[in-house]
Amino acid sequence: MIDPIDQLLVNALMEDSRRSLKALAQITGLSAPSVGERLRRLEERGVLRGFTVDVDPRSLGYQLQAIVRIRPLPGRLQEVERHVVSTPEFTECDKVTGEDCFIARLQVRSMEQLDTVLDRLSLIAESNTAIIKKSPVKRRLPPMG
């Protein structure tokens, strides 16, 4: 668990990971050195794993996103995992329970590129693909309280 001040820090960094110690100090009412110490402790405890940027794939020409449910052919589980890891168009992948072994997010520039990626996958797995129309909930933290 984290205390209310740590929650303020985490929320502020989730909104903008480039905030300065001075800005974070103003948000929390602490001094900049105190904020720095809290951030260091949050990192040591594994609460904060890193600071990142948010890049819009569309700005790089990736116009389509898809969710792909993947069911490896018999005996091909490890091969499918290696294939997904080594295919850069797969930007996220979770190994899950149920009929499908993997659920992955795919970013492509065109339907033709989607077909190419899925055709290579079809040699080792069955898949079911859904094109993402909109993402009403972006990645976010669960409630911290």
Per-residue pLDDT tens over the stretch 56-73 = 999 999 999 999 999 999
77-89 pLDDT tens trace: 999 999 999 999 9
pLDDT of res. 52: 83
DSSP letters along 85-115, please? Answer: HH-TTEEEEEE-SSS-SEEEEEEESSHHHHH
Which CATH number is associated with domain 4-44? 1.10.10.10
Give me the pLDDT at residue 54, please: 84
Residues of the chain short of pLDDT 70, as ranges, are 145
CA dist 124 and 129 (Å) reads 16
Across-strand partners of 71?
Answer: 126
Architecture of the domain delimited by 57-131? 2-Layer Sandwich (3.30)
Residues of the chain with CATH 3.30.70.920: 57-131
Model pLDDT, residue 44: 96
At 57 the pLDDT is 95
Q: Among residues 52, 67, 139, 57, which one has the least CA distance to residue 104? A: 67
pLDDT for residue 19: 94
Instruction: Return the pLDDT at 145.
Output: 67
Q: Specify the domain boundaries for CATH 1.10.10.10 within the chain.
A: 4-44
Specify the DSSP class assigned to residue 45. T
Structure confidence at residue 1 (pLDDT):
80
